Structure 1
């Protein structure tokens, strides 16, 4: 049985509600995805938290990358983030030879 990760709820949401572009407000994250705890404070104050980077599992990137989405815009002042389907690229998908 696979162990659940902290942000799997984001992965599931994007996989089941996806489209060509998804915009979520921080309020939607708080109410729909994390009703008991809300988004982490760093997600509200740091654009780095939203980086499309697997190397920092304490951030949420693996959640949207596993759903095959990437963040293309984050607005901390207006509190929203925009995701689009991940385009296959050489920097992300490397073949082992």
Structure 2
């Protein structure tokens, strides 16, 4: 059904390394997941980039939502993000 999308590597990583929650630093995402380009600058500067919202595919949300995870915490100062498995129905209410 089409080629790989930009953030599919995040989907795969979270699916394969999941548990009750997954915490990634921005550096891990840069080095392990996007060695050529790194995270977009907006991901480092705005909480909105990490919103659990499919409506903005240029942001990364579909990557973790497709892995059945959601962002529960982002720290822009310490540069890390925490994902947890989606609880049925939670993202439908947002």
TM-score range for the pair, normalised by the shorter chain length? over 0.9
Which of 1 and 2 has greater Rg? 1
For residue 78 of structure 1, what is the aligned residue in structure 2? 78
For residue 8 of structure 2, what is the aligned residue in structure 1? 8
For residue 68 of structure 1, what is the aligned residue in structure 2? 68
Report the CA distance shift for 1:91/1:65 in structure 2 as closer, same or farther (over 3 A). closer
For residue 24 of structure 1, what is the aligned residue in structure 2? 24
Indicate the RMSD between aligned Cα atoms, in angstroms. 1.4
TM-score normalised over the length of structure 1: 0.91
Counterpart secondary structure, 2:31: helix
TM-score normalised over the length of structure 2: 0.94
- Report the alpha carbon displacement of residue 3 of structure 1 after superposing the two structures with TM: 1.8
| Structure-1 separation of matches of 2:41 and 2:82 | 19
For residue 37 of structure 2, what is the aligned residue in structure 1? 37
- Report the alpha carbon displacement of residue 92 of structure 1 after superposing the two structures with TM: 2.4
- How many residues are treated as equivalent by the alignment? 93
For residue 56 of structure 2, what is the aligned residue in structure 1? 56
Give the gaps of 5 or more residues in structure 2.
Answer: none
Counterpart secondary structure, 2:92: coil
| Structure-2 separation of matches of 1:34 and 1:77 | 20
**Runs of 4+ residues over 3 Å off in structure 1:** none
**The structure with more helix, counted as a fraction of residues:** 2
